[in-house]
């Protein structure tokens, strides 16, 4: 009996090893180089409050706002108003308390089939296109792709990613800002603060906020007024690396941050389950698991590389 069990154990281990090798090969073969951010012609513009086309800014431009809020949205016509009312209510009150505070909210419609863009545009008409902008993508890119589009069209010194469902209470942004401040001094002038619901249940990040200030950036601007162009190779590597469009993009972002030894603060935030999620529990878990596994394997096998030299493969 013992020899038979030993043989079965060896056979099982061999099958597991073979499966891992096969999965690694598939991950390597199916990996593609991260493309430069591609914008369809229609995605280079936004409509102002009068319905006229204006060219979107670039992350390479000098920042003109203190805070940019990027809201990726896919078929969110029903849940988006609740989130926008709370977010804009908070931001307007904060601006009244501190007139120097400036912000923008960028709703990225990720190829929705419903009236998400029209619902979001009503807020543009109410608050003005300097405060609320809507980017409508030609086709669905996935959450990571929608956030990339929003970030690359942002004007803020800080960038906050916020889900359209409003599960995380907006005033908690101040906790994230304090978390960033507590990380100082920032190595190479980069830092990340993550809003976490781990204190409620052991799940992953609810929100992430980036700092993007003069001489400091996660997604750096190439040159700031009055400052010399940064030649820091680590920052250039971070700037060049394109986050993938998959659902697990935020985990990849933290993996990249870990590679570059960028400090990350995990901050407890209030979180509430909101009905109407587009995720189907079982299949979403499988997809997330596959994304996490393939991201890890693609870096381990060298299909994707991060280099301290500033060059990105």
What are 10-21's pLDDT values in tens digits? 666 777 667 666
Cα–Cα distance measured from residue 48 to residue 57, given in angstroms and rounded to the nearest whole number: 13
What pLDDT does 310 receive?
A: 45
What are 159-196's pLDDT values in tens digits? 888 888 887 888 888 888 888 888 877 766 677 888 77
Residue 312: pLDDT over 90: no
Q: Rg of the chain's alpha carbons, rounded to an integer? A: 21
Is the sign of the CA dihedral 60, 61, 62, 66 positive or negative? Answer: negative
Select, from the ranges 25-34, 72-81, 186-195, the one with the highest average predicted confidence (pLDDT).
Answer: 72-81
Lowest pLDDT segment from 55-59, 116-120, 184-188: 184-188
Cα–Cα distance measured from residue 5 to residue 9, given in angstroms and rounded to the nearest whole number: 6
Residue 46: pLDDT over 80: yes
The 3-state secondary structure of 83-132, one letter per residue: HHHHHHHHHHHHHHHCCCCCEEEEEEECCCCCCHHHHHHHHHHHHCCCCE
Give whole-number Cα distances, 262 to 3, 22, 122, 206, in Å. 51, 33, 39, 19
Select, from the ranges 31-35, 82-86, 204-208, the one with the highest average predicted confidence (pLDDT).
Answer: 82-86
29: DSSP letter: H
Residue 92 forms part of a structural domain: yes
Residue 275 forms part of a structural domain: yes
Phi, psi of 71, deg, nearest 5:
-120, 100
Residue 6 forms part of a structural domain: no
**CB 160 within 8 Å of CB 195:** no
What pLDDT does 24 receive?
A: 62
- CB under 8 Å to 20, separation ≥6 — which residues? none
DSSP alpha helix (H) spans, the chain:
2-30, 80-97, 116-127, 143-151, 173-182, 233-240, 249-259, 281-300
Q: 156 lies in which domain range?
A: 14-300
Q: Look up residue 267 and give its two tokens.
A: 């901050």
Q: What is the model's pTM?
A: 0.75
Residue 79: pLDDT over 90: yes
Residue 308 forms part of a structural domain: no
Cα–Cα distance measured from residue 25 to residue 303, given in angstroms and rounded to the nearest whole number: 10
Residue 9 forms part of a structural domain: no
Residue 285 forms part of a structural domain: yes
Residue 309 forms part of a structural domain: no
Lowest pLDDT segment from 86-90, 228-232, 291-295: 228-232
User: How many structural domains is the chain composed of?
Assistant: 1
Residue 88: pLDDT over 90: yes
312 closest CA partner among 216, 242, 220, 223: 242
Residue 307 forms part of a structural domain: no
What pLDDT does 68 receive?
A: 92
Q: Look up residue 155 and give its two tokens.
A: 């004007």
CATH number at residue 126: 3.90.550.10
């Amino acid at each position: 009996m013992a020899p038979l069990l030993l043989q079965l154990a060896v056979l099982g281990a061999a099958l597991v090893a073979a499966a891992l090798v096969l999965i690694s090969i598939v991950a390597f073969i199916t990996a593609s180089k991260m493309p430069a951010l591609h914008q369809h012609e229609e995605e280079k513009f936004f409509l102002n409050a009068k319905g006229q086309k204006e060219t979107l800014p670039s992350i390479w431009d000098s920042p003109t706002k203190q805070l940019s809020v990027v809201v990726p949205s896919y078929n969110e016509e029903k849940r988006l108003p609740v989130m926008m009312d709370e977010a804009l209510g908070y931001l307007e009150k904060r601006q009244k308390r501190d007139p120097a505070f400036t912000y923008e909210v960028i709703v990225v419609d990720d190829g929705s089939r419903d009236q998400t863009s029209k619902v979001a545009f009503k807020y543009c008409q109410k608050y003005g296109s300097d405060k609320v902008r809507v980017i409508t993508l030609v086709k669905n890119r996935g959450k990571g792709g929608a956030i990339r589009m929003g970030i690359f069209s942002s004007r803020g010194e800080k960038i906050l990613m916020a889900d359209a469902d409003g599960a995380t209470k907006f005033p908690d942004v101040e906790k994230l800002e304090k978390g960033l401040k507590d990380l100082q001094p920032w190595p190479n002038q980069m830092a990340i603060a993550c809003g976490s619901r781990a204190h409620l249940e052991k799940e992953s990040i609810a929100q992430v906020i980036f700092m993007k200030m003069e001489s400091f950036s996660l997604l750096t601007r190439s040159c700031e007024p009055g400052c010399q162009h940064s030649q820091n190779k680590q920052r250039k590597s971070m700037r060049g690396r394109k986050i993938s469009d998959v659902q697990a993009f935020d985990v990849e972002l933290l993996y990249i941050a870990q590679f570059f030894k960028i400090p990350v603060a995990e901050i407890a935030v209030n979180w509430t389950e909101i009905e109407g999620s587009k995720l189907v529990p079982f299949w979403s878990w499988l997809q997330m698991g596959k994304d996490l596994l393939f991201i890890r394997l693609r870096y381990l096998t060298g299909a994707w590389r991060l280099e301290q030299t500033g060059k990105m493969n």
